Every structure is written in C-alpha cells, then in structure tokens.
Amino acid sequence: MIDYWCELAWLGGPAAEAGVLISLQDDRILSIRPGCGAPPPGATVMPGLTLPGFANAHSHAFHRALRGRAQASTGSFWTWRDQMYAIAESLDPDTYHRLARATYAEMVRAGITAVGEFHYVHHQPGGRPYASPNAMGEALIAAAASAGIRLTLLDTCYLHGGLSAGGYSPRRGPQLRFGDDSSAQWAERTTQSTSSAMVRMGAAVHSVRAVDPDAIEVVAGVADENRWPVHVHLSEQIAENEQCLAALGATPTRILDDAGLISARLTAIHATHLAADDIGALGSSAASCCCCPTTERDLGDGIGPAPALAEAGSAICLGTDSHAVIDPFEECRALELDQRQVSHRRGVFDSHSLLAAGTSAGYDSIGWPEGGRLAAGGLADFITVGLDSVRMAGTGAATALPAAVFAATAADVRQVVIGGKVVVRDGAHVSIDVRAELHSSIAAVSTP
C-alpha cells in the first residue's frame, strides 16, 4: 500500500478539501480520508492542489506536427485540411510511433492521464494494407505504453472522400490511407485488436461525409456487440450540414439517429452547428458531446451550443483534437469563456463543472468509467498542480478550484500518477525528454 498526503484535493464537490490522505493498492485507490492535518509517517507529500487526471477525449496524434505551421496561413478548415493531409501522407509505423510517443508524453506532462485516439491513418500510401493490417494502430498502442498514458484506440471507419448533392465521392490521394474498402472490411480489421490493462478499444465514424448510412449501422452494431464507446465528428462545419441536407435530405444528427448510432455509448465531437431537434436527439439519448475549444478557435469552426446540450441531457467532455496547444486547463476555461462571448453572461459553467468535463466526463466518454474521480475503488490516476507559480500565488482552499481552472496552465503540473505509478515528477516526465523527442519526431515528418 502507498500513501499520498495532499495539501489540497478536489473530491468532486464545489471546493477543495484540505489534508487528504489517498491510499493506493496496485493501480487502484484503496481509500480516501480528508481532514488529515499532518502527513502520516511514510506518506508521500503532495504540495498544492491534487486533482483526478484529465482525459483527452479527442486526439489526432499526428496533428501535433502542424503546430506553428498551420496557424500562420489564411483560409478555412478546408484549406487547413490540405496541410493535414500532407502530414498524414508522410507517416509510416515507425515515424508515427515516434511522433505519437512524444505527443502523448506532452499530454502526460500537461496532466492528461487518459486519451481517446480518433485513429484513421490505417494503411500505406495508396491504400494498400500493411502486412499487419493494424500496424499503425499498434504503433499508437506502443507509443502510449512508452509514455505511460491510458489509451482508448477509437478505430475509425472512413469509406468515402466526401459528400455533395450528387452523393458520395470516392477517396482520393491521402484519403486512400484512411479507409477500408467496405464497412465489413473495417469491422474485420478493427475487431482483431485487443484490450489490456492500459488500453481499451472503441469505434468511430469519421463523419457523415465519409461514412454512408448503411455503413454507420454496421459501426453501431460492432460497438454495441463489443460494448465499446463510439465517437463521430458531427456538424463541425456549416458546409457539412449543407452537403448532408442536399445529398441525404436530413441533418447529420438525423442520419446518425436513423442508423442507430445515437445512444449513451456515443460521443459527438464538436457538435458546433446543431438544430434544436439535433440537440434534443443527442440529449434525450444521453449521448456525450466533446468540445475542443482551442482547435475550434484555431480552425474558425464557431462556438457550439454546449449549455443547451448539457441542459438536454448530454455530458460535456473535452479534447485537444489538433493539438494547437496541449493544455487541459485552457480547454476547461475556454468552454466557459467562449460561452460568455456568445451569451453575454458569466458563470454559464461553474469551476467544478468545468473540472468534471475535463476529468470524469472524459473518462466516461472513452470507456474508462472507473477513472477521472478521486474515490475509493477508482483508478489511481491523479495529478498535483503547484500553487507556487506567479499565476497561482495567493491561492488557498477557498479559491483553489477557480484559480486552477481560470489561471493555471500545463506548466503548473508538478506530479502525475497513472495506474499508481509516478510518470511526472517535479514537472518532468520520468523517462522521456519531451522537448527533444517532439523536435526530432516532428522534423522527421514535416518541412520547416
């Protein structure tokens, strides 16, 4: 048994607790006891504010290579996509492993302890499968293991190149890497992967633009049969809705609902441009919604109806998506601050609701419901935020939660424990030089 004495800890309520003793047994929390005025002999002292680990519910690991390259250009989501395709075309299992390992290590360093990887770069350039059909997914699994992060591999179905009034177009160029020849081939390939103590499987529909209604039904069936979480990019762009209405006569949400994908197992990614009926369908089914505020800002997507979705019954979780930045505190506060801009009021989401979106709701979304909480029996995944930076100076128990949400950054994370193992100590990853590995792995797949 290992004991951690936390100066302050958030146990799920509206304020932090003082003097919290967390006892671990292997990879689980055995017990939690608040109100311990002094650390008992042998306990590891955690100065600062201890939180459950954050869950990044939506990641495309290879997008990390775009940081600083895509931001300087003008255009739209669609022109940004061309830059993303160029990076995708350069990957192979070795370079993807190196880039993902460095990206996941950056996440861990930032306080992210579990990630949902929306994985769609499956095959070789031109679309020919690797000798091992899941070689790219295996590279991601190995990268996560090396970085020490929990992984849900959301194997993504991607069958078509786009959607217009004339119907679906074939995949072309870099898109050939993304898709299988049919939904049956996708199902056969993806169900070959197996889970482990630190890895779980899930399914994904890339979008209604890339997966037709019949194939969406197949994905829904595989997810249900295996009891997997299932994710989908939904209504990120107005053009997506217009294309879907012109070709299929309904919104993307209605197409998903008619195909049986919308359920409590589903997480809708972005959900930025929804009609009232769409919000009702998602909320009444208890489907989750993953907002990715820093990416949605970067791409000019717009600000989605998160408060309406939450009121309708959807849990809100968070992702870093394209990794314009990797900072879970920024995603948490952006959810609230962006809503202030459109609602003209403050306090749409309170501090502990924002932390829950970043922790427990994210863990639920990617299929780890026993994580994201400091509770007996839960996964021993937690982080400690230092209170000694200029950003956090003056913080005490009463102000710790709002200070963490609205002022802390990834740089304030001091310790990270995942599965009972220390992965970040004194602000540094215990086994990876994150800066150096990011530099070399990005250089291997991109141009200056």
Task: Provide the domain limits for residue 76.
Answer: 54-365
The enclosing H or E element of 3 equals strand 2-9
Is 230 in a helix, a strand, or coil?
strand
Q: Which of 365, 386, 409 is the last residue of a domain?
A: 365
Query: Looking at the structure, do residues 330 and 429 belong to the same domain, yes or no?
Result: no
**Which residues are marked as active site?**
270, 321
Residue 58: its pLDDT value, please? 98
Q: Are residues 46 and 106 in the same domain?
A: no
User: What is the pLDDT, as a whole number, of residue 80?
Assistant: 84
The pLDDT value recorded for residue 448 is: 59
- What's the number of domains the chain is made of? 2
* Beta strands 17-25; 28-33: pairing state: antiparallel
Tell me: do 400 and 357 sit in the same domain.
no
What is the pLDDT, as a whole number, of residue 214?
98
Q: What is the pLDDT of residues 356-373, one digit of tens each?
A: 999 999 999 999 999 999
- 128 DSSP 8-state letter: P
The answer to whether residue 443 sits within a structural domain is no
The residues that bridge with 119 in the sheet, in sequence order, are: 155
Are residue 341 and residue 414 in the same domain, yes or no?
A: no
Question: CA geometry: angle at 363 spanning 358 and 366, to 5°?
Answer: 120
List the CATH number of the domain containing 99. Answer: 3.20.20.140
For tokens 């390992």, name the residue. Answer: 101
Please check whether residues 220 and 286 belong to one and the same domain.
yes
Q: What is the pLDDT along the chain (448 residues), one digit of tens a residue?
A: 899 999 999 999 999 999 999 999 999 999 999 999 899 999 999 999 999 999 999 999 999 999 988 877 777 777 888 889 999 999 999 999 999 999 999 999 999 999 999 999 999 999 999 999 999 999 999 999 999 999 999 999 999 999 999 999 999 999 999 999 999 999 999 999 889 999 999 999 999 999 999 999 999 999 999 999 999 999 999 999 999 999 999 999 999 999 999 999 999 999 999 999 999 999 999 999 999 999 999 999 999 999 999 999 999 999 999 999 999 999 999 999 999 999 999 999 999 999 999 999 999 999 999 999 999 999 999 999 999 999 999 999 999 999 999 999 999 999 999 999 999 999 999 999 999 999 999 999 986 5
Contact between 358 and 294 (Cβ < 8 Å): no
The whole model's pTM is what? 0.97
Q: Do 293 and 165 share a structural domain?
A: yes
Long-range contacts of 275-278, Cβ-Cβ distance < 8 Å, separation of 24 or more: 275/251, 277/251, 277/253, 278/235, 278/251, 278/253, 278/254
C-alpha span between 71 and 204 (Å, rounded): 27
**190 and 301 housed in the same domain:** yes
Q: Specify whether 75 is located in the same domain as 14.
A: no
**447 assigned to some structural domain:** no
Q: Can you give the CATH number for the domain in which 11 is found?
A: 2.30.40.10
HEC secondary structure over 345-357: CCCCCCHHHHHHH
Residue 94: predicted pLDDT: 98
Q: What percent of the chain has pLDDT over 70?
A: 100
Tokens of 447: 């141009």
Residue 34, CA distances (Å) to 14, 39, 110, 374 in order? 15, 11, 26, 11
